């Protein structure tokens, strides 16, 4: 029986108190027999119905927790880790619940290619889209993206980051006015300070910050292997591009625009904590980037 029918029967019972014959008249109006009414009124919810109700409640909770930015796959991973869900849940169930709740993951924004000019310190595309790694600190990706803040978004800054390809964990970030070699040196200095004595392959695009003399001299001291995307080919750095895209779509766009620079810094910090500590994925066996990364270590 549908929940609406039970509520309707209970409403008939409530409004008919003290009114002789009211139940009979209301049942005639809605076309329900007295036998069906009595049976429905006394009926208890089944185990399936109770589980379905709990599943919908928790699905809505996790969808809202992730700022309406996850699809059925990631929602399933969160439900499987949910202590309040003590029964098996399938992908098909999650898709059905999402349809019934009318919740949808917003489609990712399309990225437009930009052709990079050739610079002095050009490296080959050694990574060559081999995005599967078996341990932390084997491959680091780096890139920067533009963020806006102010009353009308009139101020612009660059957010630079270093992403460990294993588990898609952001190791370090830096905010600067423009994308300069000094800004990229600073973010990599933070990454190496955190990671310790490691020698990963470092993959970037061919922006002037990464092809400058100062940046390349800085990287030489860490004995890393360099790799660069081909001109006009953002897919060569696809995991980093996707991380930025989801960071903006699922975090920045779902919060009010920061009015001041300190507000922007706080919002970015909270977003990175969210993606590193709370963003579960089937590609990581239902783990967050931090859990996946630390499990390997």
Q: What is the pLDDT of residues 50-102, one digit of tens each?
A: 888 899 999 999 988 988 888 888 989 999 999 999 999 999 999 998 988 88
Phi–psi pair at 40, nearest 5 degrees: -70, -35
Q: What is the mean pLDDT of the chain?
A: 86
Q: What is the pLDDT, as a whole number, of residue 107?
A: 55
Q: In what order do the strands lie in the sheet with 169-176?
A: 169-176, 155-164, 139-149, 201-204, 225-228
Q: What is the pLDDT of residues 213-253, one digit of tens each?
A: 999 999 999 999 999 999 888 899 999 999 999 999 999 99
Q: Which two tokens stand for residue 190?
A: 């933070």
Q: Is the pLDDT of residue 17 over 80?
A: no
Percent of the chain with pLDDT over 70: 80
CA atoms within 13 A on the CB side of 77: 16
pTM of the model: 0.71
Q: Give the Cα separation of 135 and 152 in Å (integer).
A: 43
Q: What is the pLDDT, as a whole number, of residue 237?
A: 95
Report the first-to-last Cα separation within the chain, whole angstroms.
52
Q: What is the pLDDT of residues 245-296, one digit of tens each?
A: 999 999 999 999 999 999 999 999 999 999 999 999 998 999 999 999 889 8
Task: Compute the Cα dihedral for 274, 275, 277, 282 and give only its sign.
Answer: positive
């Amino acid at each position: 029986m549908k929940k609406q029918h039970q509520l309707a029967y209970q409403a008939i019972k409530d409004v008919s108190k003290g009114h002789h014959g009211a139940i009979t008249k209301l049942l005639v109006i809605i076309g329900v027999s007295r036998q069906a009414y009595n049976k429905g009124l006394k009926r208890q919810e089944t185990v399936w119905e109770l589980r379905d109700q709990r599943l919908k409640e928790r699905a809505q909770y996790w969808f809202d927790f992730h700022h309406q930015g996850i699809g059925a796959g990631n929602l399933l991973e969160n439900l499987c880790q949910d202590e309040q869900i003590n029964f098996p849940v399938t992908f098909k169930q999650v898709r059905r619940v999402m349809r019934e709740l009318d919740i949808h993951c917003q489609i990712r924004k399309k990225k437009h290619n930009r052709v990079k000019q050739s610079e002095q310190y050009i490296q080959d595309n050694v990574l060559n889209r081999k995005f599967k790694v078996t341990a932390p600190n084997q491959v680091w990706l780096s890139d920067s993206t533009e963020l806006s803040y102010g009353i009308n978004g009139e101020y612009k800054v660059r957010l630079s980051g270093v992403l460990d390809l294993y588990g898609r964990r952001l190791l370090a970030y830096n905010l600067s006015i423009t994308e300069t070699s000094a800004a990229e040196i600073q973010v990599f200095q933070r990454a190496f300070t955190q990671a310790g004595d490691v020698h990963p392959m470092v993959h970037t695009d061919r922006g002037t910050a990464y092809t400058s003399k100062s940046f390349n001299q800085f990287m030489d001291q860490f004995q890393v292997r360099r790799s660069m995307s081909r001109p006009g080919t953002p897919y060569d750095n696809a995991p980093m591009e996707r991380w930025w895209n989801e960071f903006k779509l699922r975090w920045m766009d779902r919060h009010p625009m920061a009015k001041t620079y300190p507000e922007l810094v706080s919002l970015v910090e909270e977003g990175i904590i969210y993606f590193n500590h709370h963003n579960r994925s089937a590609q990581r066996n239902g783990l967050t980037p931090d859990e996946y990364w630390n499990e390997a270590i």
